[in-house]
């Protein structure tokens, strides 16, 4: 077991066993230390948030936004570590989804739904809430190193009731399985604000060019399943989310499949941007985001093996 795996294992064990106020204070203090240290992840978050808020926000206010963003990111980790110890009722009480009635109707109708998520708030709590509600949920996860950490996160999410497909190496291509799941009425959430494959769709995002995964748009076009964009954020004592949509799918006569995927992915980008702009402190994007940003060196902020739209 290497040091990275040991760190995750210790985090899971201590976060579950200690009282929440103690754990929350420790993670908050860690976020504040990261802010004062000002490493690469903090600098990248600052650059990303500057794109979101624009050039007119005073530097002092941006400083406070970065500090709040790091505290929100630490809260995600703390709550993710504690999720497996929560009861079903605690999971249901700890998350609220605006538009849940629409999602429930989609599941009941047997057509399922595609949900495009940002790296905001607590997407693991959202997935656990869907499963605890009794709705089938399937997503995909990139296989990251070290393998033992990936396996730990895989078991963690499966234990919460989610079906997790690997982006590659499965018995069938993940896209084909997701098509089948949607046609059986399954909820398919996919993180959609950052492409991990370098093969994504180029879109405009906060006035700059970036790439986003084609998977959410392609799945919706292929299956006709409703496609939602989700805003995610924290309130004082609860994780929140709100569905926007379903988005209008491009008419088949409007162009080739490639053109329609590009148009719909831009609509996803616009919806994600609107939600992030409302809650910038809860956008956990400590990685390079825009095509004109420099590629950073070593020392990037840690990310959990993410559920991803790169399929």
Q: Is the pLDDT of residue 33 over 50?
A: yes
Looking at residues 35-61, what average pLDDT do you find? Answer: 95
Domains of the chain, by residue range, sit at 3-282
Average pLDDT, the chain: 88
- DSSP SS3 for 307: strand
Please report the pLDDT score of residue 166 as a whole number.
Answer: 83
Confidence of residue 11 (pLDDT cuts 50, 70, 90): low
Distance (Å, whole) CA 230 – CA 292? 26
Residues 6+ apart with CB under 8 A from 309: 116, 140, 190, 191, 192, 195, 212, 213, 214, 215, 216
The strand pairing partners of 232, in sequence order, are 241
List pLDDT tens digits, range 189-232: 999 999 877 789 999 999 999 999 999 999 999 999 999 999 99
82-87: which pairs have CB atoms within 8 A and are 24 or more residues apart? 82/15, 82/16, 82/20, 82/23, 83/124, 83/125, 83/128, 83/156, 83/160, 84/12, 84/16, 84/156, 84/159, 84/160, 85/16, 86/128
Please report the pLDDT score of residue 308 as a whole number.
Answer: 47
Peptide bond into 15 cis (omega under 30): no
**Alpha-carbon dihedral 291, 309, 263, 274, rounded to 10 degrees:** -70
Tell me if 40 sits within 8 A of 300, measured CB to CB.
Answer: yes
List pLDDT tens digits, range 115-148: 999 999 999 999 999 999 999 999 998 766 666 6
Please report the pLDDT score of residue 5 as a whole number.
Answer: 52
Residues in the chain: 311
Phi-psi region of 187 (alpha: psi -120 to 50; beta: other; left: phi over 0): beta
Q: Is the pLDDT of residue 306 over 70?
A: no
């Amino acid at each position: 077991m290497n040091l990275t795996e040991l760190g995750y294992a210790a985090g899971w064990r201590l976060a579950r066993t200690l009282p929440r106020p103690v754990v929350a204070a420790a993670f908050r203090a860690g976020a504040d230390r990261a802010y004062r240290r000002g490493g690469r992840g903090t600098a990248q978050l600052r650059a990303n948030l500057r794109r979101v808020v624009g050039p007119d926000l005073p530097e002092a206010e941006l400083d406070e936004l970065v500090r709040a963003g790091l505290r929100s990111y630490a809260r995600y980790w703390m709550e993710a570590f504690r999720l497996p110890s929560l009861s079903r009722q605690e999971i249901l009480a700890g998350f609220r989804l605006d538009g849940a009635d629409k999602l429930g109707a989609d599941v009941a109708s047997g057509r399922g739904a595609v949900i495009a998520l940002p790296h905001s708030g607590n997407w693991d709590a959202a997935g656990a809430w869907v499963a605890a509600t009794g709705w089938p949920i399937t997503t995909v996860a990139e296989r990251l190193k070290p393998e033992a950490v990936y396996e730990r996160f895989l078991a963690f999410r499966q234990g919460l009731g989610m079906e997790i497909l690997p982006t590659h190496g499965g018995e069938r291509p993940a896209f084909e399985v997701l098509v089948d799941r949607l046609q059986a009425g399954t909820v398919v959430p996919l993180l959609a604000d950052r492409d991990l494959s370098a093969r994504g769709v180029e879109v405009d995002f906060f006035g700059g060019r970036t790439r986003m995964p084609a998977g959410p748009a392609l799945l919706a076009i292929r299956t006709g399943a409703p496609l939602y964009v989700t805003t995610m954020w924290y309130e004082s004592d609860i994780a929140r989310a709100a569905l926007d949509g379903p988005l209008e799918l491009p008419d088949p006569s409007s162009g080739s499949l490639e053109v329609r995927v590009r148009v719909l992915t831009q609509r996803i980008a616009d919806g994600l941007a609107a939600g992030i702009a409302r809650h910038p402190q809860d956008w956990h994007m400590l990685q390079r985001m825009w095509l004109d940003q420099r590629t950073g060196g070593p020392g990037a902020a840690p990310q959990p093996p993410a559920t991803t739209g790169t399929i």
